[in-house]
Structure 1
Amino acid sequence: MSFGLTQEQRDLRDVVRAYARRELAPGYLARARVAEFPWDCQRELGKLGLLGLLAGPDWGGEGEPDFTAPGLAMEELAYADFNIANCMLPPLIITSILREHASESMLQEWMPGLVAGDTMVALGLTEPGSGSDAGAMRTTAERTATGWRLNGEKTSITAIPFAQAAVIFARTDPALGAGGVSAFMVRMDHRGVRTGAIEDPGWLPVGRGTIAMTDVDVDGDALIGNVGDGFRTVMRNFDFTRPLLALTAIGAAQATLDETVEHVRSRAAFGSPLARFEGISFPLAEHATHLDLARMICYRALAKRTAGEPHTADAAMAKWVGPLYSSQAIHDCLLQFGHYGYSCEYPHEQRLRDVLAVEIADGTAQVQKIIIARELFGRDFLPYPRDGR
């Protein structure tokens, strides 16, 4: 396994790093405390070509997508502004799904706005009674004379307060369990659709919310891909979104660690710099090591994705340890600043609240361990029926 980057990957990383630290870092705290989507920043990401990295050559991406590239971009963005980094994730997921499964008319309608940063399309999967157990969803889509009628409720949907549409997953054949789930493009201003916002302690600029659908009639061309392919579609995409999410946590934690290293170098106690005390320096050394380990797992998963190799367990490992080590690092670094670290004038408490969300999104630590165990022992040892019902 090569641990090096290609010249193209290094160039992308350097461009994003320079932009993020110059343009985004100074405004992180101000943006982080307002539930307002940063459309101006999103359009800048579009101009940099970051939102189209997985969209395909017709929309600014590569013929064969390089999944390491969005990982590098999102980690560098998160170092400067965790929330701006996560504004990239819905367009990356949706453009990847549309590239593989959408009709030409749907591509023409949605791709330009997504890759330019003018449009947001959310992913409607989680429900009040089912999160990672997507096979237990209750939202239904019944055939009509002209298309489909959707009924149901979604919750914990990233960016839905600011989205123009959502890819909704619904049961088209309840008898087939996970195999009876299909995906639909649904506009949020459609009759019968109601959205709501969830108040959270962090992640405010990205937002999280709910969707309720009552007799929502959509045309047949709202179907994405084939009937019954929805569950497999989203599960395949989670295998690359999980390491991307983890890298946003790692980027924010790395920024906090770097700031803490500088602080304990210059701050003195009892006539000596804090960095000379092993009680200070050893925990920071441990966090530096843990973040590097988590980072390598993330990029290994993304490299395997690019190469077409199995990487489900790698993605779950990345999603488990990345947010865990990142939250621990930010927490301990905050304490190294003493009473200053608890102040809202410093970014540490804000990063801690923001990064905590990544321990839940796209599956909790417990779900990731189930996935890892499944890859180790096989599906016969799953704690639920093999057909997903």
Structure 2
Amino acid sequence: MKVSDHKNAQLIEEAKATLINNDLGGYTVPTHGLYPFQWNWDSAIVALGWLPFDEPRAWEETTSLLSAQWQTGMVPHVVFHQQSDTYFPGPDIWGVKNELDSTSITQPPVLASVIKILYEETKDRALADSQIKTIIPQLIHSHLWWYKHRDPENTGLVVSYHPWESGMDNSPAWDDALEAVPCIDWEYTRRDTSHIDASERPHKKEYDRFLYLVDFFRKMNFDDTLIYQDCPYRVNDVSIISILHRATKDLLWLCEKTGVDNEQTEYLKERLNLTASAMNKLWCAKTNMFHSFDTRSNSLCQARTSAGLLPFFAGLVNEQQATPLISVLDNWLEHSQFAISSTHPEDPNYEPQRYWRGPIWLHVNWMIMLGLKDYGFSTQAERITDGSRACIYASGFNESFHAETGARSGGADFSWTAAMGLYWLLPNQTEKE
């Protein structure tokens, strides 16, 4: 899609304005109203958007998120810095009593990979060096928590306890696993459908189960051991596993550059090897894709989703898997000039506009693109880049995009989409592709 220099310049300014307008003083909300707090992987991605025009603010985004880190090492998926009545469930439902109110679950740990980029690309070296000294111990604490608390049996594959932890909240990959979760027995009023048409949001039957799990965590007093044993939803999420693996490699790179070498870094290296040896469990020869694994039913989550491409980002695709997986991707990309839908268009669960069941998400595309480039699949990486840029050109900085038309899906004026525009997709950023 040909776009004038004037239009590109206008979009760059609109992207900057989106971040500035969503900045609540040290942290950036995804969008006002629908998501009025600080979200974990949103903030990590958003830091990349601040980087090209406000380096101190990029670092502040990450340190603000880490300020809510639990003593266990977990970085929560939402931080409730201030009150808002436009979102449900809020801190009263979660029941967490920390210095900063938060949820009791986490999200994909892409933060270390973002910190590596900040450290490499920040022009103010004094700022980078001062920030990294504090951040590296916090990142190590977080990654140790993942491996020790979310994989206590040393299988090599960490587990997730809630679809919200995946960030891909309503993915059809979770449908069967959620069926084992009871519905809650109390009434509630959702807030999301007052901001977004219900046809784009999860159904009530999913939300009932989402809230049952929130109740369950509180009843277990947030005890990781009890939750691991008894949680009715326990999934080896291929997206989390892949993002964690890449992030641990990036964290170890940071440790090497800054002279951190100890028992903790040796342990992290061992965990990388353990995950690499366990990944075949998530490969399906029938679909030629990676899938998440429901540890309760001992079965693969069958839906074909973009999460199954993230092992490229992690470097976890072996030689025998790469060619058939690329064939799947080539077929996927033939369905639309926009790319890439979050569920394969030929999957029976595909819905091009319903939350995570089809719409396009640019930050996921960015990770897949990086992985493809690492493997030398430059044609596919360029196609995803072009398809992602086409979304912005078609309808601006939305939460996600209709998989077939590129129209708005989800919230408008969305921070992580603006960040991907500034860092990755708009002119003068192409050297980062």
- For the pair shown, the structure with the greater C-alpha radius of gyration is 1
TM-score by length of 1: 0.30
As a proportion of its length, which structure holds more strand? 1
As a proportion of its length, which structure holds more helix? 1
